[in-house]
Structure 1
């Protein structure tokens, strides 16, 4: 039988610590080198069950995402021509198949 508390305590024992300090009226965290981010902003949330504060790299904004798509190699994802004729369809027709 696995004791979940024993497993959790082993994970906690293996964690590192970080220093907290004040900068102006904000609290900041000095992360050890192994935990540093390669971005200037992170998202922050609190786990409702454990109360843990979780930092994650901030997702790309739409501008950066669209720019990345434009720069991506492999334009076969967006073929120029599909060799299909335009079809007239009733937009209010119900498909029963």
Structure 2
């Protein structure tokens, strides 16, 4: 377990995340919640807002030729 410091940043408290625990990406949001006396930080779940608008951006012939990576896969045993 690593130790860290809590400090003031403007009107908020901030926590220094040690290098060995840092997240790889800085270009996304993270959720933080209090559970008892713990603070839990995790990558925010992606929202599906505007999903239909994104689909409308595809052309009418999108994927008509398939993905182009179809392989002859061996048949699988039934479960």
In the superposition, the TM-score normalised over structure 1's length comes to: 0.44
Aligned to 2:31: 43
Name which one, 1 or 2, has greater alpha-carbon Rg.
Answer: 1
Instruction: Name the structure, 1 or 2, with higher relative contact order (CA <8 Å, separation 6+).
Output: 2
Cα distance in 1 for residues equivalent to 2:20 and 2:14: 17
Structure 1 residue ranges (4+ consecutive) displaced by more than 6 angstroms after TM superposition: none
- Whether 1:20 aligns to 2:6 is yes
Structure 2: give runs of 5+ residues left out of the alignment. Answer: 56-65, 68-79
Displacement of 1:61: 2.1
Q: What is the number of equivalent residue pairs in this alignment? A: 56
1:33-92 CA-to-partner distances (Å, cap 9, x unmatched) read 1211214421011224xx21100111112158x4xxx7xxxx68xxxxxxxxxxxxxxxx
Structure with more of its chain in strand, by fraction: 2
